[in-house]
Amino acid sequence: TTPQLLAGKRVVITAGPTVEAIDPVRYLSNHSTGKMGFALARACVAAGADVILIAGGKIALPTPLNVTRIDVLSAEEMLMVAQQCVTGTHSALQYMLEEEHDHSHDHSHDHSHDHSHEHAHQQGDCDCGEDHEEIIIDGSLKVADIFIATAAVADYRTEEAAPQKIKKTQEAMTLSLVKNPDILATISLAHPELFVVGFAAETQDVERYARGKLLSKDLDLIACNDVSRADIGFASDDNAMEVFFSTHYEHDSITLDKASKDKIAEQLTTIIGEAIWQ
């Protein structure tokens, strides 16, 4: 049996591509399938974590058991949802709790947006005479312990999506693009206490680029795959990785040999679990 290295930990994972609208029917995206992030979500649940999976694009993969999944499209939306999930303030998390509360106490009125009631619960001065404890512990105030960014975020988005379908009247057209926010760096730099894991796909100088990102994005770990290899990565079911650690850990780097994404996810989860207890 796997040791429950992540018992009681809340893990937020981004996965898949982002989708950047050009007009109501067209978008910019990439070939990311989300497999690695979904495999990590399963592995983290198996290690005892409470997992929130932020899935970009239109990922057809089934939601892993016991995982809270939130679908998003653009990088800006993914960043906003990630911030809310890391700070425990996303409405999907509150809704879940209210549902739980609703069922366990058989309330008849609709709680889904009854924030004043919930607030009173959190303050402990609600007069409904019920036990408020579980809402405070499991509730909207619970911040994440670990953030794992596997999403293939589009580097650029259209400056402005056209409100109507663009007609093919011109012989040539130019799309004006602007840089997307770096979700991983933004979250990591805003939450120094959060254990943060990044991914990188490189074709050369893997270690140098990885170490640069560890520092610039203030990461604890970065898992790199060599995308110049045809047998792993993107749509493949297999992966191989080199994991680099920031300086305050016992390890400098660990190589994970080619294996299924599920196996790699399990190994990575163990590495994360051991590092957070260090």
User: Which amino acids are annotated catalytic?
Assistant: 30
C-beta of 97 vs 214, nearer to ligand C5P: 214
To ligand C5P, the closest distance from the beta carbon of 58 in angstroms equals 18
Whether residue 142 is annotated as binding a ligand: the answer is no
Closest to 54 (Cα-Cα) out of 25, 28, 90, 30: 90
Q: Per CB under 6 A, does 146 bind ligand C5P?
A: no
To ligand C5P, the closest distance from the beta carbon of 61 in angstroms equals 17
Neighbouring C-beta atoms of residue 108, cutoff 10 Å: 5
Cα 277 to Cα 9, 169, 248, 249, distances in angstroms: 12, 61, 12, 10
Q: Per CB under 6 A, does 15 bind ligand C5P?
A: no
Q: Per CB under 6 A, does 13 bind ligand C5P?
A: no
DSSP H or E stretch at residue 174: none
Q: Per CB under 6 A, does 220 bind ligand C5P?
A: no
Binders of ligand C5P among 48-77, rule CB under 6 A?
Answer: 75
Nearest-angstrom CA–CA distance, 26 and 20:
9
3-state helix, strand, coil in the chain (%, to 5): 30, 25, 45
C-beta of 68 vs 225, nearer to ligand C5P: 225
Say how far residue 135 (Cα) sits from the centre of its chain. Answer: 23
C-beta of 88 vs 198, nearer to ligand C5P: 198
Decide the pairing of beta strands 50-55 and 67-71: parallel
Torsion region of 19: left, alpha or beta (phi above 0 gives left; psi -120 to 50 gives alpha): beta
To ligand C5P, the closest distance from the beta carbon of 87 in angstroms equals 17
Exactly one of 135, 146, 149, 268 binds ligand C5P (CB under 6 A); which one?
149
The token pair that represents 92 in the structure block: 């999907």
Lay out the site mask for ligand C5P across 161-180 (x = CB under 6 A, - = otherwise). Answer: -------------------x
To ligand C5P, the closest distance from the beta carbon of 99 in angstroms equals 30
Which residue numbers belong to the known binding site for CTP? Answer: 155, 165, 181-184, 199, 213, 217
- Under the rule (CB under 6 A), what is the footprint of ligand C5P? 14, 75, 149-151, 153, 180, 182-184, 198-200, 213
